[in-house]
Amino acid sequence: MSEPLIEMINITFTYPGASQPVFQDFNFQLLPGNHLGLTGPNGCGKTTMLHLIMGLLRPQAGTIKIFGEEVKKEKDFVQVRQKVGLLFQNPDDQLFCPTVIEDVAFGPLNQGKPPAEAIRIARETMEKLGLAGFEDRVTYKLSGGEKRLVSLATVLAMQPQLLLLDEPTTGLDEATRHRLIHILQDLDIAYMIVSHEPEFLNHTVRQCCHVHSHCCQPTLHQPGGNGV
């Protein structure tokens, strides 16, 4: 069996000032090529888990391994962020550049690509997501659905090997939701989706996990099945 993409071993995490830990001796694994759905009630730690993987939060105890390497310091996570993409819950947090093309090219430029290549990658990514012609649109003037797709483009433009999506369907209409499903089905990288929508997960992931404070327990879920 190949090495897990993500391994969380005996993680303990408590938010400052909180009485209860979110995670206590939490263990989790994600295998290559896996498409996983994360479910659970509000506040059970789904977003926290993604933020721990990206190094936005640091556990009080435990080990996180990503692509087989242990990550501890900010320097390690800088490397992780080159290969793992995170789509935030709210696109307004993600899109901060004045125009769409600048926002999509922001990641590639940070990766050290020259401007001409960054623009080429940005255009290609946008084309793949059906966003051709959006280059000079002003980000704050986009509609909710457009903002979501552009946010996804900004993450995919970094050509990640693993994608984390935090409630990607919030506020989407039916048409945009379908576009998102098709986009995810065409992706050939591993991804994890936090979502409260069984219907959406049915179409996009093979397996669902319920997040608890100790572990992530697989739920009986098959594509096209009864859901979570």
* Pairing verdict, β 190-194 and 162-166: parallel
Place of tokens 């997960």: 201
* Closest CB to another protein among residues 81, 210: 81
Strand order in the sheet with 6-13: 23-30, 6-13, 61-66, 69-71
With beta carbons less than 8 A apart as the criterion, state whether 173 and 17 touch.
no
* Closest CB to another protein among residues 46, 210: 46
**Shortest approach of another protein to residue 9 CB, angstroms?**
23
List interacting residues with another protein (CB under 8 A). 51, 54, 56, 78, 81-82, 85-86, 88, 90, 92-94, 96-99, 101-102, 105-107, 109-111, 115, 118-119, 130, 138-146, 154-155, 158, 173, 175-176
**Shortest approach of another protein to residue 12 CB, angstroms?**
21
**Shortest approach of another protein to residue 45 CB, angstroms?**
17
**Shortest approach of another protein to residue 195 CB, angstroms?**
19
* Closest CB to another protein among residues 15, 140: 140
Note the helical H segments in the chain.
46-54, 74-83, 91-94, 100-110, 115-128, 144-156, 174-186, 198-204
Question: 3-class SS at 89?
Answer: coil
